[in-house]
Chains A and B, each alone.
Chain A
Amino acid sequence: MKTQEEIFNTLKKIMSEMFELAADDIVPNANLKDDLDIDSIDAVDLMVRLRDITGKRINPEDFKNARTIQDVVDTVYRINAA
């Protein structure tokens, strides 16, 4: 999971499994809260899952400003590269 595209595809897969979402609705500019109905508890669960997958330390603060799927992809990409 190195490129932005790989990260996006992984995210799409785990989010559709975790949150009863149609994979087609998970697009880069989808808003987490308004379009996908992701709440703060979901965000914590998602973070735990991303931590397992990447093996990197991921903190809640990293996602504090994430509003869209693309924001999450960017954040994971940045943490992965670090």
Chain B
Amino acid sequence: MLERINYYWRLFGTGLSFFVFGAAGVLFWGMLFPLFERFLGTGIEKKRRSRFLMNRVFRIYMNFMRSIGILDYEVHGAERLDAAGRLIVANHPCLLDIVFLISHIKNATCIVKPALIANPFMRIPINAMGYIYAEDPEVVMNHCVEELREGGSLIVFPEGTRTTPGKPIKFQRGAAAIALRAGAKILPITIDCSPTTLTKQEKWYQIPQKKFTLSLHVGDDIELSPIPEDAERSIETRRVTRQLENYFIEQLARHGKF
């Protein structure tokens, strides 16, 4: 009986959370933010302040979901999260990963689908945060390098989409290519979501049998050796991608519960 009640409460809470995300997003970023945006300064300073604001808003949102009892979260190694100019590489088990990460990183940026710019409620915050979008891979690459050199924390999910539970990790090579070109350190973060929920295959109402727990396991910096003069960049990119894949396979075997 109690279990039943809890299930329906969490179902309602999940729906409410989706609604709050959309409604508060439109209200805050679409209507309020443009009113005080000008007081945030210009250039890099404005970008940082906007990102810090996003960090606070997402933290409140995570805490809201925790307080209504649909999820719990934990962070291991939080002290390493705010190091400047890191390429943050993470696996991507659930829809909330980016929200969870940004809620704990003060100067976070990411790459977004160019299609999102068509939506004015998305365009305003995306431009204020300086999130990266472009059709052309070279342009994306240059923005990423510039962002890392400025000291931003650039979050990338090298799987390109959410992880399919039970399937082996396969990375695209963009993350390694960015790190090599920028000469940036990679901060690997293993995300665990158990029981699994909000995957690419599930609808929002297919909630787990019990409250789920999201965990961040922040790894140690991975420092890449500079590419030797005579080496092919494309070969190095492949090597670093394999190195990252192996790291995550090992970490998931340790932290993952599937």
Contacts and interface: CB of A to CB of B under 8 A. Distances in A.
A60 B136 contact: yes
B159 to A, nearest CB: 14
A17 B234 CA distance: 9
B234 A45 contact: yes
Contact of B137 (A18, A19, A20, A40): A40
Contacts of B80: none
Interface in B123-181: 136-138, 141, 172-174, 177
Contact of A44 (B137, B172, B232): B137
A82 interface: no
B234 A42 contact: yes
Nearest to B237: A41
Contacts of B137: 40-41, 44
A40 B139 CA distance: 12
Contacts of B177: 41
A34 interface: no
A24 interface: no
Contact of A39 (B136, B173, B232, B233): B173
Contacts of A17: 232
Given A41-B173, A41-B174, A41-B237, A18 B138 contact: no
Contacts of B237: 41
A26 B135 CA distance: 28
Interface string A27-44: 000000000000111101
10 contacts: A18-B232, A19-B235, A19-B238, A39-B173, A40-B137, A41-B137, A41-B174, A41-B234, A44-B138, A60-B138
Interface of A: 17-20, 39-42, 44-45, 60
